[in-house]
Structure 1
Amino acid sequence: MINPYEIIDRRLSAIEQVLQELRQQNGTQTAPDEVGGIELARQVTRLSAARIYTLVSKRQIPHMKRGNRLTFRRTQLLAWLDEGDRKTMGGLDA
């Protein structure tokens, strides 16, 4: 007699394999959140280093500071940029 848990385990393994293949095909492989310094912030925001330092001093951009080391998380910077999206006005033809 076949153990039902073995059948479930095999099916779950097959599902995990299919999901892994789909992620690789779509390029959505989950990666850990990237943490970096001012260069990461410049790359993500397309702002100058001086502007980023100004926003940091005014606490207007998400950042972390440990001693003299300033760091940023890519996901937080992207979310911060998304907050600035302007809403479109529906029904107006431009």
Structure 2
Amino acid sequence: MDNPFEVLDKRLRNLEALMQEILQHLRAGAPVAEPMIGGIELAQEITRLSKARIYALVSARQIPHAKRGNKLYFTRNELQTWIAVGNRTPYP
């Protein structure tokens, strides 16, 4: 049977190696993958609107979305474009 301290030491070294790898990726500026397609939660995160307001916009077909069965889907790029298009020109 292995010495339990050796097993713990091995696991700690593995964790340390993993942490070093994660730190290297973070320092290199590796982008964190964000979900491109999501449900109502993604729409809330991007637009900062309530669920009720998003449902009202979907009902009026004023926000980009897709529907499959009873599930709503939103894409990050379409929502960001929708927000950008709604920008008003600044006052002079």
Unaligned runs of 5+ in 1: 1-23
2:72 to 70, 73, 81: 70
Choose which of 71, 83, 86 in structure 1 pairs with 2:85: 83
Work out the CA distance in 2 between the residues paired with 1:36 and 1:43: 10
Shift in alpha-carbon separation, 1:80–1:28, aligned structure 2, 3 A? farther
Stretches of 4+ moved more than 2 A in 1? 24-29
How many matched pairs? 67
Identify unmatched segments of 5+ residues in structure 2.
1-25
Identity value in percent: 53
- In the aligned structure 2, how far is the partner of 1:26 from the partner of 1:87? 37
- Could you tell me how far 1:57 is from its partner in structure 2? 0.3
SS at structure 2 position matched to 1:65: strand
Deviation at 1:89, TM superposition (A): 3.0
Counterpart residue identity of residue 41, structure 1: A
